[in-house]
Amino acid sequence: MIMDRETATPSVDGIPGERAQQWVEHHHRTAAPSTYVYEFVWDLSGPAVGPFCTDVDGNVLLDFTSHVAASPLGYNNPKVMDRLREFELVDPLKIAGQDFYVSGGDEPGSDSLPGPTGLMDRLVEATSEYGLSTVFLSNSGAEAVENAIKIAYDHSDGGQYGITFDGAFHGRTLGTLSLNRSKSVHRRHYPEISGIHALPFCTDQGCTPETCGCGFFTEHGSQLDRMVDPEQGYLDPDEVAYIILEPVQGEGGYRIPSQAFGDKIATIADDHDITLIADEIQSGLGRTGKLWGSDHYSFEPDVIAAAKALRVGATIGREEVFPDETNRLSSTWGAGDILASLQGALTIDAIHDHNLMANATARGRQCLELLVDGLADYDCVVESRGLGLMLAVEFDTKARRNAVQKAALQRGLLTLGCGHSVLRLLPPLDVTEREIELAVELLITAVDDVV
């Protein structure tokens, strides 16, 4: 059965249904505890297209999670699937990537079905405005960040300090955990990298140094200035290996910083020649209406960590930041997932070929306006905010957020929580005006159900 995206609508008899409960129970016989959001079981063989999908009980849902931004075009999108069908499956589809090369048979640079090399070519082109020219591929966002801080430490020639921000989330490896400041459960009782210092992250998109209420700016200047001032600071800027930040915080609550915050990051990084790492794992590759979240600000990253929409992990940086010594970086699987690299390259092509950044801007603006208008009379709604298709509604309590998320699910809308009491919306990059209207209507109804 083929689903028509132009006419599909959510239809739910109850979640979880009987078959979903069976699958969940069977899954947990062997699965380690993890962050399971709800008992939605996607039917791989069921009809699905764009943001619409079917669960194992036949419920049709409108998925505004995009699998935490890792499925940027939703389900079975012809913008990628039509080209994937040209690819004849081979074995192995995963090779020892950092030690082996692979080609589709075409001349370099003209590969019709690009693999890891073609993906890296596209990433260098996508970051050319920042002068980034070298890529290290990996399997995940956490690995992308892990390698970003490794090369920054190496490049600093003995730098012992890293600067992160309150609310940050950069991954779950031991190294990246040390940078996290979003929830204590991520780091509790794990050993950490020494020398990591945290600063307040800007929480007001429109603030100035004079109106700042987040604590980053004070009457005496920014806390970053105070931290690395060569005469009065408590960190020697020559010993700071990197500053790492998410241009828009994801797990921390979809917090969008001000231009003043971005300007200060740019000034400090430039004045003291500190390597700036942008974690673009959730904000990168078109979701904010620009290729990178960093494109909205004046700072210029020396290293970008990307994943999710890219389908693989990637650490992209200036050539001089990467170590020259072989074996300093390596990975058996890094750059070795041929199919995922192909998906990533085709996704980048689709973003450009179908003008999806403009769509993200237009549909994000539409969604935000509908949310602001539709939720204006609910006292439990603290704020609706967004940048492109990174959209969020903040509630007065975590319990209220959770109740709304559950009510939305029962009406056929899949959403995600983040921060303390924030609900996030991540529609596919080619989401339509009709789909935005459907989702907002379902969400407003869910809020009304809870209230």
CB proximity list for 326: less than 8 A, separation 6 or greater = none
Task: Indicate if the pLDDT at residue 76 is higher than 80.
Answer: yes
Residue at 227 is within a domain: yes
Confidence band, pLDDT 50/70/90 cuts, at residue 407: very high
Can you tell me the mean pLDDT for 439-445? 97
How many residues appear in the chain? 451
CB proximity list for 160: less than 8 A, separation 6 or greater = 194, 195, 239, 241
Tally of domains within the chain:
1
| Domain CATH for 127 | 3.40.640.10
Can you tell me the mean pLDDT for 390-419? 96
Q: According to the model, what pLDDT value does residue 1 have? A: 67
Q: Where are the alpha helices (DSSP H) in 286-397?
A: 338-353, 356-374
Can you tell me the mean pLDDT for 163-172? 95
Can you tell me the mean pLDDT for 14-25? 93
Range of the domain at 175: 116-353
3-state secondary structure of 161: strand
Q: According to the model, what pLDDT value does residue 371 have? A: 98
Q: What is the dihedral of CA 339, 340, 345, 350, to 10 degrees?
A: 100
φ and ψ at 16, to 5 degrees? Answer: -85, 145
Rounded CA-CA distance 444/404 in Å is 9
- What is the per-residue DSSP string for 16-73? S-HHHHHHHHHHTTTPPP--------B-TTS--BBTEEEBTTS-EEEE-SHHHHTSTT
List, for residues 143-161, the tens digit of each pLDDT value: 999 999 999 999 998 899 9
Residue at 169 is within a domain: yes
% the chain with pLDDT above 90? 81
List, for residues 233-283, the tens digit of each pLDDT value: 999 999 999 999 999 999 999 999 999 999 999 999 999 999 999 999 999
Q: According to the model, what pLDDT value does residue 332 have? A: 85
The two tokens of residue 428 are: 């596919």
List, for residues 82-106, the tens digit of each pLDDT value: 999 998 888 899 888 877 888 887 8
Residue at 397 is within a domain: no
Q: What pTM does this model have?
A: 0.96
- Name residue 178's amino acid: S
